[in-house]
Amino acid sequence: MTTPKKLYIKTYGCQMNVYDSERMSEALSGEGYVPTDSPDDADMILLNTCHIREKAAEKVYSELGRYKGLKAEKPDLKIGVAGCVAQAEGEEIMRRQPMVDLVVGPQSYHRLPELEAKARSGERALDTDFPEEDKFEHLKSRPKASRGPTAFLTVQEGCDKFCAFCVVPYTRGAEVSRPASRVLDEARDLVERGVREITLLGQNVNAYHGAGTDGDWGLARLIYALADIDGLERIRFTTSHPNDMDDDLIEAHANCSKLMPYLHLPVQAGSDKILKRMNRQHTAESYIKLMERLREARPDLHVSGDFIVGFPEETEEDFQDTLNLIKTVKYGSAFSFKYSPRPGTPAAERPQVPEDEKNDRLQRLQALLSQQQRELQDAMVGREVSVLFEKPGRQAGQMVGKSEYLHAVHVTADGLNPGDLRKVRIINSGPNSLSGVLI
Ligand code: SAH
Ligand code: SF4
Ligand code: F3S
């Protein structure tokens, strides 16, 4: 028997990259690779990269720099770059980094086995095509290994919205939805392997419009069909765009008990002037109204959002509009970023906000968001939640899981196992998590 080769994958960026890394690992398992947690004993190192902000993209080059010594010691070591930086800068990576053997974009990674063989034979391999064929169909052969209680499942990919700041439409390509039957097959397979909670992924997941048994299905229809799978207890989806939040999906938050009361709905800014320049195609008011409708459907809904500060030509007044929107909506959690000019996007060409201004706004924004987060989290004390336990905690006898609202919850009790779904009374709110007792 030949000894298996070892594959080390390092993943940056969004959850879709996490999912893609799993699929790449599976694709290469067919070529005799087993995963390893350490780059030092790897036969192949694969960086699955993110291009969303400048800092994210720079990480690739500094990480590659670290592997120089390793590659010199082990000439057979193959180094690959995948993901969104590969897509955006593949040729440049090849030019700047002779140590890189393989570059593969997010829409062509089903071709990894051929690319790997090419790299093994001593040639450098680059594939950043947007192929016609469905990559998911070429990635069917999953090993039937058991898995943890939660999983991601990509149902939609790519984006046609072209927000003025964003690289995703360029790195991921046009919006495509997978057929419902494929999604349902994959979900059943995951459930057979121990998964109890599935998070449906898409760059604009609520724009999902996959082929169903009777014409195209929207995301709500897909969620109802998934909810019929025995053993699947929880469904989440991310990330959504406000303009794709249709009536059916709002109603699903009221009608589908397996759909969790947590919604990530980025708004980016609270000033209509800035929203317009961002090409978001909605106003602050329409977003706030939408949130109201969602909370009518599901009064205990926890919402999270994404915010950008210092977008070109954002004034202090515009920024105040963002703070006001946050005060109105009240977020249970949020991600916030300084605007980062990205090559090839329209906003990069506009007059920029000075860096110290951006820093100052980010600080003020984050202070408000963490205050809200803290208040909403503290308000959970005394309440009963359901917790899906995922793994042991740091203390003896402790298990950690997630509430329906996506809070991390610690419980110390005998006989709890990953995958258990239990009622818990919250007794304490810590800096980043809650703790509770079984009911
Ligand atoms: N599809 C999702 C978001 C994808 S990117 C949506 O439409 O909301 C994730 C987040 O990164 C965005 O919501 C935005 O807040 C942030 N982001 C994207 N491009 C950025 C840039 N150039 N600078 C700073 N933040 C950015
Ligand atoms: Fe980027 Fe906008 Fe598309 Fe989201 S909707 S991925 S922010 S272009
Ligand atoms: Fe980054 Fe690409 Fe995801 S740019 S955020 S890895 S879609």
For residue range 137-180, what is the model confidence (pLDDT) as tens digits? 776 655 667 789 999 999 999 999 999 999 999 999 999 999 99
Q: Identify residue 226 by its one-letter amino acid code.
A: L
Helix ranges (DSSP H) in 209-354: 219-227, 247-255, 272-277, 284-297, 316-329
Distance 162 CA to ligand 2 centre (A): 6
At residue 366, what are phi and psi to the nearest 5 degrees? Answer: -70, -30
* Nearest Cα residue to 246 out of 225, 223, 277, 215: 223
* Cα separation, 98 vs 95, whole angstroms: 6
| Ligand 1 touching residue 268 (CB < 6 A) | yes
Q: Is 241 in the pocket of ligand 1 (CB under 6 A)?
A: yes
**Is the confidence at residue 133, as pLDDT, over 80?**
no
The answer for residues whose C-beta is within 8 angstroms of residue 336's C-beta and 6 or more apart is: 306, 307, 308, 309, 362, 365, 366, 369
Backbone angles phi, psi at 301, to 5 degrees: -55, 130
CA 313 – CA 64 distance, rounded (Å):
36
Q: Mean pLDDT, the chain, as a whole number?
A: 95
Q: What is the mean pLDDT of residues 240-264?
A: 98
- Residue 134's pLDDT band, with cuts at 50, 70 and 90, is confident
Cα 183 to middle of ligand 3, angstroms = 22
Q: Are 396 and 157 in contact (CB under 8 A)?
A: no
What are the backbone angles phi and psi of residue 86, rounded to the nearest 5°?
A: -55, -45
* Cβ burial 251-276 (10 Å sphere, 16+ → b, else e): ebbeebebbbbbbbbbbbbbbbebbe
Does residue 1 carry a pLDDT above 60? no
Pairing of strands 408-412, 421-429: unpaired
Q: Quick one: pLDDT band at residue 136, thresholds 50, 70, 90?
A: confident
In ligand 2, the atom with minimum distance to the C-alpha of 160 is 3
Residues with beta carbon inside 6 Å of ligand 3? 13-14, 16-17, 50-52, 83-84, 167-168, 171-172
Ligand nearest to the CA of 204: 1
205, 241, 245, 306, best to mutate for ligand 2 pocket (most atoms within 8 Å of CB): 241
Spatial contact of 366 and 326, defined as CB atoms under 8 Å apart: no
Distance CA 84, CA 406 (A): 27
Is 256 one of the annotated binding-site residues? Answer: no
pLDDT for position 141:
54
Q: How many CA atoms lie within 13 A of 347 on its CB side?
A: 25
Q: What is the mean pLDDT of residues 17-30?
A: 93
pLDDT in tens, 172-214: 999 999 999 999 999 999 999 999 999 999 999 999 999 999 9
Structural domains of the chain in order of their starting residue, each with its CATH number: 5-127 (3.40.50.12160), 143-379 (3.80.30.20), 383-438 (2.40.50.140)
97 lines ligand 1 (CB under 6 A): no
The Cα angle at residue 410 between residues 408 and 416, in degrees rounded to 5: 115
CA–centroid distance, 345 to ligand 2, in Å, is 12
Res. 230 pLDDT band, cuts 50 70 90: very high
DSSP label of 88: H
Q: What DSSP character marks residue 229?
A: S
Expressed in percent and rounded to 5, the helix, strand and coil fractions of the chain are 40, 25, 35
